[in-house]
Structure 1
Amino acid sequence: MAHTYVAYIDESGDDGLDNPFRQIGNAGGSSKWLVISACLFRQTHSLDAVKWRDEISDKMPERQSRTLHFAKLNHGQKLATVQTIAGKPLRALSVVAAKEPIPKDIYTEKNQLYFYMTRYLIERLSWLCRDHRPLAPEGDGRVAITFSRRGGMQYDEFREYLERLKADASGDVRIHWPVIDIDAVTAADHSKSASLQLADAVASAVAAGFEPDRYGNCEPRYAETLKPITYCRKKKYLSYGIKIVPNNDQCNLDQQQLKMLEIWK
């Protein structure tokens, strides 16, 4: 039987902790934040995702390509992108890592921080699929997950990581496993998947509210525009559609970044 849901995952920022962090006025260095986001929708909408992406592109006839890279759009184009996405039958989820407070000796292995944060994302994907199942009776209730391909990451290793989490008996792993098809976890190129381009827009929109640009400014409007489609449970967004690591009070948020917390109240 076919999957009920499909989820597409992309990120904004990097998981590097060793390089100097990016400073205002300088485009070099590692990002201070890592945002990993998912777009989830019913598999019956899989072909519609191309139409959604093309609807966005049609609003920007001056662009030479339909392929969307949120970071390459101007402010008006970014707003038009998230406004369009916010009107579609999908849900958005994001996990957000503040990298500066993280001790340098914790995530020392390749992709370790990325794996750790993605675990939180998949937990929340599983809760959403479980809770939404009464409204989506088609298929087998499971979700097929596709990542935007990252250089240096082996997706068979990530599937093995999920298998280890599934075997964990400590009770710390809160993934609802009946909806997660580990064998269906795969990767695709951003340029070849309209769905991944939507996930890129979500991740970049959330990151814009936390990661200052070269002039020191954050932009919360993109994330705020996506609030109607952001996963919430019992009217709570934080820890569901938006998960911040470490806790908010440990992230040294400035006044601009605190506006992102106000959005999710």
Structure 2
Amino acid sequence: MNSSASKYKFTLYVDEAGDDGLKAYLNDDNDLSSEWFVLGGIVSKTSDEPELLRRLNDGAARAGLPFGRDIHFARLNHKKKAIICHELGLGPFRWFCVISHKKNMRAHRNAKAESVSKKQKFLYNWMLRLLLERVTRYCKEYNDRCSVKSNVSDLRVILSDRGGLRKPDFGDYFTRLWIQYHSGTTHLRKGLIDFSVFDPPNIFIFPNTEKYGLQSADFIVSAIYKSLPQKRQQNPKIEYVEALMPRCASLDGKIFGAGIVIFPPDWAKSLSGEQLESIKYFAEIVASPRLCVPTRELDRLPS
């Protein structure tokens, strides 16, 4: 492990599935843009990174993939995806994700956020903020339980470079939030990024091919995305998410609103049809002790 990585206590690897563009979805009949956008990632302790790599490599080997090959969810068949998801379901990390149904975002505006955020990256920045609010709280509570003093360099964030992502696109936004946090002037008080464990300069961008943590995060967001019904995806599959649920994070004993965040928050009223049923099924999954407690039974190969 290199020295630059060892100074951090936790790493959040972030990837996305779907696209974050809202303009292309203004027409209900348009199926060129995804109906959903998923932003999520895995949090790993620095000391657990070798085990995370081993889990990913073991899953790839069991799936029959050549050693050292870059692993991408979308390039694999169903059985290989399921094998690797089952292996990651026993991994040394916790995952978080924010799920946005973009149709219900069309009338939503946050003028304060837009004023310091690149317009084309508004949704990405907003969802990354929601993600960091929960991840920084998780890291702070972990430190408190271990009676360890928190430090602003505890958490580094590594974003997947999916093309066109630049640090200035979100740097001003999170720097402004940092200033508001320390001055007590944060506009939205319901959720706060805990900057006692995180400093905005500790956000980095890498291609998936260079970070195995990003390849693992790809399986998280892709599994979530694959379970969501939409015009461009006629056969959603939930079994990948079921395999990964043992590693989903919780706060205050709850997964919904913590490890899994649905946007808009009033999804029970604003969604309908297949979209509503898919989120209801998520609620059933997170309430299942069988799926949310790590067990060696998940280590069996899928048939």
2:54 matched residue in structure 1: 51
1:74 matched residue in structure 2: 77
Distance 1:58 1:23 in 2: 43
1:198 matched residue in structure 2: 216
Q: Structure 1, residues 99-122: CA drift from partner, whole Å, max 9, x if none?
A: 012226748821111101110000
Q: Structure 1, residues 208-251: CA drift from partner, whole Å, max 9, x if none?
A: 22244756222222112222111112321111000111022223
1:170 to 186, 209, 233: 186
Flag structure 2 segments of 5+ consecutive residues without an equivalent.
1-5, 288-303
Distance 2:155 2:83 in 1: 29
Deviation at 1:20, TM superposition (A): 4.7
Count of matched residue pairs: 263
Cα distance change on mapping 1:61 and 1:125 into 2, 3 Å: same
1:239 to 241, 249, 257: 257
CA contact (8 A) 1:155 1:187 kept: yes
- Larger-gyration structure (1/2): 2
Cα distance change on mapping 1:75 and 1:251 into 2, 3 Å: same
Q: Structure 1, residues 99-156: CA drift from partner, whole Å, max 9, x if none?
A: 0122267488211111011100000110110111134849847111100013222113
1:18 lines up with 2:23 in the alignment: yes
Of Structure 1 and Structure 2, the greater helix share is in 2
1:125 matched residue in structure 2: 135
Distance 2:120 2:38 in 1: 17
% of aligned pairs identical?
Answer: 24
CA contact (8 A) 1:22 1:29 kept: no
2:271 matched residue in structure 1: 251
- The worse-fitting range, judged by mean Cα deviation, of 201-210 and 169-178 is 169-178
2:86 matched residue in structure 1: 83
- The worse-fitting range, judged by mean Cα deviation, of 192-201 and 138-147 is 138-147
1:262 matched residue in structure 2: 284
Cα distance change on mapping 1:143 and 1:215 into 2, 3 Å: closer
SS in 2 for 1:58: helix
1:179 to 197, 203, 223: 197
SS in 2 for 1:200: helix
SS in 1 for 2:98: strand
Cα distance change on mapping 1:47 and 1:59 into 2, 3 Å: same
Quick one: which amino acid aligns to residue 185 of structure 1? I
1:37 lines up with 2:40 in the alignment: yes
1:210 matched residue in structure 2: 228
SS in 1 for 2:87: helix
- The worse-fitting range, judged by mean Cα deviation, of 177-186 and 162-171 is 162-171
1:142 to 154, 171, 176: 154
1:151 matched residue in structure 2: 163
2:106 matched residue in structure 1: 103
- The worse-fitting range, judged by mean Cα deviation, of 64-73 and 239-248 is 64-73
CA RMSD of aligned residues (A): 2.8
- The worse-fitting range, judged by mean Cα deviation, of 194-203 and 160-169 is 160-169
CA contact (8 A) 1:218 1:257 kept: no
Q: Structure 1, residues 179-222: CA drift from partner, whole Å, max 9, x if none?
A: 11222110111111111000010011111222447562222221
Distance 1:138 1:89 in 2: 22
Distance 1:260 1:164 in 2: 34
* TM-score, scaled to structure 1: 0.88
Flag structure 1 segments of 5+ consecutive residues without an equivalent.
none
